[in-house]
Structures are given as C-alpha cells and as structure tokens.
Amino acid sequence: MAETGSLAAIDHAAFDELVHEALAHLYDLAFLQRSPLVDMLGLRRDGGGGTALHRLLVEAIEQLKPPREVAPDALAWKTYRSLFLRYVRALNAGAAARELGLSPRQEQRIHTIALGAISALLRESRPIGQTDPLTSAAHVTSSDDERVLDDEIATILASERGEVESFAAIVQGAVATINPVLAQRQIEAEIQIDPALADGTAPHDLLRQAVVQLCLAVAEGGGPARLLVRGIPSPPAARLTLALDRDPPALPPPARSMIARRLRIAERLLGALGGRCQLLAGRPAAVEAYLPLGVPPVVLAVEDNPQVVQLFQRYLSGTVYRLIHAADADTALTIAERQKPDAITLDVMMPRRDGWELLQALKVRPETRQIPVIVCSVLRDRDLALALGAVDFLPKPISQQALLGALGRHVPAARTLSDLPADGPQAC
C-alpha cells in the first residue's frame, strides 16, 4: 500500500488492489484480518477485524444494488449482480457470465466497472487524515457524478461494437479539441508519437476523453509554455507523458484541486481500459499514463464474391476487428500460414479448391490447425462443417449481428503490442 502522503493516483491504485484482493478472499477471515484495509477503514483489530471487513464488503455490494423500479436489464443491475455472483455466491467468471446472460468478454467489462464502483464507495468511508491534500481534492467529483460516469463507461464497454481508433489519431484528436483553451492560456502543443505505436488501438471514446482531461490538468500550470505530449511503447502498454516545457511556480490551491479532479476522471476512464495515470514525481503540472494497447484481432475472409467482402468490410468497420481477404483457397492457405489470423470466415463454393478442401488443409497443418474457422455458405451443411473442424456455421445471407456474434464467441481478445508480427497484417 502506498504510504500516507503519496500522490493521489498511486494511492487510489494501491487501495483498489487491496479491495480486489479482499473481495477474492471474502470468506477467508484470517486473510481479511491481516488486510491493511482493516486499519485504513477504521475497523476493529481486537480479533474481529476480519469479520468486520467481511461485513463491510458485503454491505458495500448491497449498497450498489439499484432500486426495484430500475429495469432488470439496466447496467446498474448488471454491475451489482456481477459483484454478488462473483463474491457473495463465489461463482467463477464463466458461471457469472452465464447467470447474467452475457458473453465472457461483456461480463469482464461489466465486472471491471463494478470493481471500480465498490472501491470508490469504500474510499469514501476511509478515515479523515489518512490522505494527503491532493488525494482529498480528488474527491471534488461527487459520488453521484462518479456513478453517472461509471454508467457511461459501462455503456461503451458493454457494447461488442465499441468504436476503436489508432492510438496516435486519438491523441491528436484530443489535443486538437482543446487547442482553443490552450491558446487562451498561451500554451502551444507539440505531439510526438513513436511510430512503433502505429498499430496500437484503443476504444475511441474512453481514451479520447482521458487524454482531454490529462491535457487540461497539465494546462493548469499556465503559459506562455509548450505542452509536450509524447507517446512511446512500453510493452505491453503505451506510455503517454504530458508536461509543460517549464515548471510553473507553486500552484494555488484551486489549481491543485482542479488538477486532482481531472486526474480522478482520467484515472476512472483509463482504469476501465486496464490503464492508469499519475503525476510525475517532483513536477507540479506533469502527468504520465499507461494504457495496454491492443492489436486488433485479424479476420481472414476467404470469399470469391467481392460484394460479400465489401459487406463484411462494412460490418466490421469501426469494430475491434481488422479484415483481410483472400479470393481463393491457395492464397488463403498461404496467408493463414504466414500471418496467423485470429479467425477465418470460409466460403464453401469457390473455383478450383472448394471450402471443404481448404478447411481440411487448415486443420492438418500445425501452423494453422488452431485458427478458428467459421464456415459461411448458402449450403445448409452445419453438421459437415463442424465435423471437419469448423467452430461455427453461418448460413448466407449473413447479418452483421450474426457475424459479430460468431466472432465474439470464438475470437480471442486483442493481442498486445509485443505480439504483433514484424511485418504486421495486410488489410484488404
């Protein structure tokens, strides 16, 4: 746990980790008794600290339970039930997802928001005097505001079609958005993004808003000055630093409070993506953020009909997937062996070698046998497709919902920057 007086973002991250560990050991009272949370939350240490912490965690989960008038399928109910199922009922992630009627990916996204919500609730009960002024100022954002923000984040993350964009484009767009504010403060922005981050992607809405908040936090230092925004790879993450080219004089309390508030919002946005942010040590108006960027899952469409390829391109545009294309079986086999796509959609009726022959060839080669193949055909031969090794079958014509649903069931999460092949996948 960070020591008292450490920076707000570090303190929050360490506190959140302790909460997550305690929830994972909810019925292990001996473990809970030893948790630093017992002291931090002012609980009794006379042999009953573990019991008190157990009770507090269960009560905190119940506090997140929405009123009965809230619709059963609302996000508030999903976040509450995710915590209840995972910890009170001690179900694993797969079982919780089934109970909620969500895919494992959706449940994990909801669960991330739920963990953030219960950590924030417990932070509010932390005894006064155990945080520094900057940490306390971070709570300028009210609990109601934070829950509204969490709902908005959950709405984006729960969507299988969350908009993604390149890291560089997101940062450049965020800085362009606040240029009028920077100009008023006599601050000129300079952006330097390492080319190695060119293939890194992230959810557009969340990262853009986080970068806006970080830029505005640094701009509290005032000008005239240059705002240096630098992005470099720090596998499996990207490291983004934002700092003025000069250290401002001692910041007045209102400016410190505003920096803390903006950091708090950025921390929540980045935390939903598995990232974090913090002030740079010894710098009153300089921040750094880490974001685990994903390399978009690559889908190889093996299809000799250009209209179907164009349809798939439109379906996958703006999603987490990148589409590449092969018009015949021989080309598809070469691409599959060289680029190792995350999934293959396979037409059956093709000239020379048909889809059945290609499917068998893919499944006998060690380099390609693990790639999930989704057969797409007007022929209603689902049983044959599965018997030959396909993971799914989609009858043509194929809707966007059907394609995204199949990919969501069988395609692994985005790879990290360190997994990207040197030459990268070639888009169609």
pLDDT at residue 152 in the model: 65
Type of residue at 409? R
The CATH number that applies at residue 396 is 3.40.50.2300
Sign of the CA dihedral 384, 386, 388, 391?
positive
Distance CA 58, CA 54 (A): 6
What element of type H or E holds 217? helix 204-219
Do residues 141 and 178 share a domain? Answer: no
Do residues 153 and 169 share a domain? Answer: no
Do residues 283 and 303 share a domain? Answer: no
Do residues 34 and 134 share a domain? Answer: yes
Do residues 194 and 267 share a domain? Answer: yes
Domain count, the chain: 3
Last residue within a domain, chosen from 276, 294, 312: 294
pLDDT in tens, 359-368: 999 999 998 9
pLDDT at residue 413 in the model: 53
Last residue within a domain, chosen from 157, 185, 217: 157
Q: Identify which of 379, 402, 376, 380 has the alpha carbon closest to the alpha carbon of residue 390.
A: 376
135 has a pLDDT exceeding 50: no
Q: Identify which of 15, 268, 22 has the alpha carbon closest to the alpha carbon of residue 123.
A: 15
pLDDT at residue 127 in the model: 46
Residue by residue, DSSP assigns 43-81 as: ---SS-HHHHHHHHHHHHHHHTPPPTTS-TTSHHHHHHH
The conformational region for residue 352 under phi > 0 = left, psi -120 to 50 = alpha, else beta, is left
pLDDT band at 390 (very low <50, low <70, confident <90, very high): very high
268 has a pLDDT exceeding 90: no
Last residue within a domain, chosen from 248, 274, 294: 294
CA 381 to chain centre: 37
34 has a pLDDT exceeding 80: yes
pLDDT in tens, 161-191: 345 677 888 899 889 988 888 988 899 999 9
Do the beta carbons of residue 32 and residue 54 sit within 8 Å? yes
pLDDT in tens, 204-253: 678 888 999 999 999 988 889 999 999 998 876 788 999 998 877 777 77
pLDDT at residue 51 in the model: 80
Taking residue 314's Cβ as centre, other Cβ atoms within 10 Å add up to 11
Do residues 145 and 17 share a domain? Answer: yes
Q: Which domain holds residue 170?
A: 164-294
Calculate helix-pair angle for 204-219, 253-272, nearest 10 degrees: 160
Distance CA 281, CA 241 (A): 12
